[in-house]
Amino acid sequence: MPQNKAIKTLLTLLNEQGMKMGIITGKSRRAFDLSMESMAMPGVFSTVVTGDDVEIPKPDPTGIVSTMRKLGAVKEETIYIGDSNNDILAGKAAGIHTAGVHWLGTSQSARFDAQPDFIWTKVDDFIKLLQTPAK
C-alpha cells in the first residue's frame, strides 16, 4: 500500500476507534495546512501545535504537554510518534510512550539515539498492532 494511502487508512482507523489525536510539528502553520490539504486530510486532528505556536522547539515537551491537556490525555495511555530524535526526546521528557518511525521517503533522523519504545518502518506495522485483540 502506498505510504500516503496507508497513513490515511491509519488515521481513519484511529478515528473509528475513538482515539483522540493531536499533532505537534515544527512546520509553520501555513506549511502544515498546505500539507494536510495536499493529502486531502484537513481537520483530522483534534488539536494542532505548529512551530509558530511554541517558543521553544522540540525536544522541549511543551507542545506535547499542551496537546495532552487539550485532549484530556492520560500519560500512561498516550504515545507520541515521530521521525526524529528530537521527537523521541520530547515524548520521553513528557513522560509518555514513544514510537520512532521510518515510514516516509525521508526521515529527520536515520536512527534513534534516544531509544523509542517502538520502531516502525511501515505504517502497516502500527495498523496490525491496532487490529490485534487485547489480551
User: Quick one: pLDDT at residue 47?
Assistant: 95
User: pLDDT by residue (tens digit) across 29-47?
Assistant: 999 999 888 877 777 899 9
Taking CA atoms, 93 is separated from 5, 80, 87, 88, 89, in Å, by 31, 11, 10, 9, 6
Q: Are the beta carbons of 122 and 9 closer than 8 angstroms?
A: no
On the CB side of 97, CA atoms within 13 Å amount to: 10
Q: Please tell me the total count of domains within the chain.
A: 1
Q: What is the mean pLDDT of the chain?
A: 89
Q: What is the CATH number of the domain that holds 46?
A: 3.40.50.1000
pTM summary value: 0.88
Domain-located, residue 35: yes
Domain-located, residue 56: yes
User: Quick one: pLDDT at residue 111?
Assistant: 82
Domain-located, residue 45: yes
Mean pLDDT for 52-63 is: 95
Please choose, from the candidates 10, 2, 84, the residue with its C-alpha nearest in 3D space to the C-alpha of residue 44.
10
Structure-block grid coordinates of residue 90: 520530547
Radius of gyration of the chain from its Cα atoms, rounded to whole angstroms: 14
Domain-located, residue 61: yes
Can you say how many angstroms the Cα of residue 43 is from the centroid of all Cα atoms in its chain? 15
Q: Residue 41 is part of which domain span?
A: 3-128
Using the predicted structure, report yes or no on whether residue 106 has a pLDDT greater than 70.
no
